[in-house]
Chains A and B, each alone.
Chain A
Amino acid sequence: MPARGEPGEVVLSIEHVTVKFGGLVALADVNFTVCDGEIVGLIGPNGAGKTTAFNVFTGFLTPTHGGVRYRGTSLNGRKPHEIAALGLVRTFQRTSIFQNASVFDNVLTGLHRRGRSTVWDTLLTTPREKATERELADKAHEILGVVGLDRRSAEVAGALPYGEQRLLGIALALAAEPSMLLLDEPVSGMNANETVRVMKLVETIRASGVTILLVEHDMPMVMQVSDRIVVLNYGRIIAQGPPAAIQKDPDVIRAYLGEGKRRA
């Protein structure tokens, strides 16, 4: 297990983000940062605003006030594909893969940004087109190897067991060459074996230089995997810090116990 070294500079900076839906305040003046090479876990009871926050970070929702910066560039008003081009890629909890395509084609599609061929290259089947396709195919095999799905590459994605579908979703995101990966409840609905597999994958990804922010409900998983935890409740950050500290934090305990029994 690689040692958790000093985190690098700030890469993701959430500044005074507020989201209001009519009269409902989903996020209120949220401020935090994520540093290069960190794994940060975002947790909170149901309805705390985690999904809303996630959607703001990835360009799927415009904040009412405030903004998000990635490596200095403001994300405000940018379309999702532009944000992906900046290196910030997310996974989805549901509909995380292209159901009707093969596993291999899924990753190939994710590798879209890597290719540079134009319409004319395609129509005339130029050497550049052929070289691009070969390169993408090689890279796709590589990524499938990393997540452990290369045996499945010819199968239809929708036919995979649920746990492997989520793995494919991560593979898709990896294909887009992220410098930072946002994982949306990566182990929700998974059994113990599948969860361990994802946890190992997360470490492997971080070791390759990718910063990670994840939203999760599975406490043991998040506590083990994260360098730092950020806790949301009713749209506000109520605590930040290393897992050990968060587990003892009275505000956090109250937030969760106040909701009823949660998975310890």
Chain B
Amino acid sequence: MKRALPAFWLIVVLTVPFWLPDQYILHILIITGIFIIAAMSLNLLLGYTGQLSLGHVAFFGIGAYASALTTLGFDVELFAGFRVVHEPWPAVVGFFVGTIVAGMSGYVIGRLSFKVRGAYFVIVTISFAEVTRLVALNWVELTQGPLALTNIPPYTIGFPGLGDYTLWNKTAYYYLVLAVGLAAYIVISRLVGSRIGRAMIALKENETLASSVGIDVTHYLVLAAVISAAVAGSAGSLYAHYVKIIDPDIFLFVYTVMMVIMVITGGKGTLAGPIVGGIIFGFLPVILRPIAAPAVQWILYGALMIVIVFVLPQGIVPAVERWMANWTQFGRKAAGIMLASNSKPGDGP
């Protein structure tokens, strides 16, 4: 039964566009999917490695901008007459550039931020994200500042012999997001089940003990940051080429908060947690839209986060798992009692 469940969901998810062809719903699923990928990446750093990085949106945004700029081309003066000119490249290349550039920023920010821990680490990561936003806002020559990067072209995949396929419609994009999401899931699940993953989890549990058995703390913290940033960057690229317009608001702290809420309520340190959290907070705005203004929605999210932290500090997925474990135990006990009572002779009908 347990193994059939994921397969069932996989089939459901794979066939959605066929039994739910509504364009609006597909749009929601795509945006939700992109945020789930970002939440999964944050989960690696926050849930498994135990580092409360509140600057995660920076990696998402860097990936988005890097991908968009690679595809649109740019012409900037770095200093004293030294110009850098970049011709537009295919969007698909932008995806990889976005992922890699985000990963690199994860390395730089990680190396710098992990010099401190605890509350100071949180503040430093927030600061890095804000500085990134302000750079995007003010370096107008590169990013167009608040005027936004527009007309970002969609991905075009060339099939040899069959010609080019441009991802214009939502169904195709849905499958793309799904594919990237599955890839991200596989990467993260393989990582956390491995020796490297054990090292990261050890760092969350007890850094001192981990280092005493030979685990290089800084190395694995930065590694977690790099992979986490790269995955977030890939989500950013998906976002840029879908909505086709991005501005510095993409770096706002609220998006980090959104990802954090998804991970925490879903269940940090579990593989399914960010997915569950992502679905809940991807669809809640849609459900609440007709009945509540955005401000009211956010009050609800804030209150919900406080309630979850108080009542279900591990998140929803571990609570459900425990509940199901109790049920199967209960079910077995009940079945055992019933079998025992049935075998008694002389009982009534």
Contact = CB atoms under 8 A, between A and B. Distances in A.
A263 B316 CA distance: 51
A197 interface: no
Interface in A69-96: 79-81, 84-85, 89-90, 92, 95-96
A119 B191 CA distance: 8
Given A92-B208, A105-B198, A112-B199, A119 B214 contact: no
B169 interface: no
Contacts of B211: 79-81, 84
Contact of A109 (B187, B191, B199, B208): B199
A109 B213 CA distance: 8
Given A109-B202, A112-B198, A133-B194, A172 B213 contact: yes
A125 interface: yes
Nearest to B198: A109
Given A101-B201, A105-B198, A109-B198, A84 B190 contact: no
Interface size class of B (residues with CB under 8 A): 20 to 34
Nearest to B197: A122
A84 B191 contact: no
B218 to A, nearest CB: 8
A172 B198 CA distance: 13
A209 interface: no
B209 A112 contact: no
Interface in A153-185: 172-173, 175-176
B198 A58 contact: no
Contact of A113 (B197, B213, B227): B213
A136 interface: yes
B223 interface: yes
A44 to B, nearest CB: 23
Given A80-B208, A98-B205, A122 B213 contact: no
A99 interface: yes
A132 interface: yes
A110 B206 CA distance: 12
Contact of B213 (A89, A100, A123): A89
Contacts of A113: 213-214
Given A95-B206, A98-B202, A123-B190, A110 B213 contact: yes
Interface string A112-135: 110101010011010001001100
Contacts of A27: none
Contacts of A60: 208
Contacts of A115: 195
Which of B195, B205, B208 has the most C-beta atoms of chain A within 10 angstroms of its own C-beta?
B195
Interface in B307-343: none
A214 interface: no
Candidate in B187, B191, B214 with the most chain A CB atoms within 10 angstroms: B214
B214 A112 contact: yes
B195 A112 contact: yes
Nearest to A105: B198
B215 A122 contact: no
Contacts of B217: 79, 81
A119 B195 contact: no
Interface in A236-252: none
A108 interface: yes
B167 interface: no
A176 B201 contact: no
Contacts of B191: 119, 122-123
- Which among B187, B209, B210 has the highest number of chain A CB atoms within 10 Å? B209
B208 A81 contact: no
A97 interface: yes
Contacts of A172: 209, 213
Contacts of B198: 105, 108-109, 112
Contacts of A129: 194
A101 B209 contact: no
Given A96-B209, A99-B205, A112 B190 contact: no
B194 A176 contact: no
Nearest to A58: B212
B195 A92 contact: no
Q: 10 shortest A-B CB distances, which residue pairs?
A: A84-B214, A113-B214, A80-B211, A176-B213, A122-B194, A115-B195, A81-B211, A98-B205, A110-B213, A109-B198
Given A98-B209, A112-B202, A115-B195, 5 more contacts: A58-B212, A84-B211, A95-B209, A122-B196, A133-B195
29 contacts: A58-B212, A81-B212, A84-B211, A85-B214, A89-B212, A89-B213, A89-B214, A92-B209, A95-B208, A96-B209, A98-B201, A98-B206, A99-B205, A100-B205, A101-B205, A109-B213, A109-B215, A112-B202, A112-B213, A112-B214, A113-B213, A115-B195, A119-B196, A132-B195, A133-B194, A136-B195, A172-B209, A173-B213, A176-B213
Interface of A: 58, 60, 79-81, 84-85, 89-90, 92, 95-101, 105, 108-110, 112-113, 115, 117, 119, 122-123, 125, 129, 132-133, 136, 172-173, 175-176
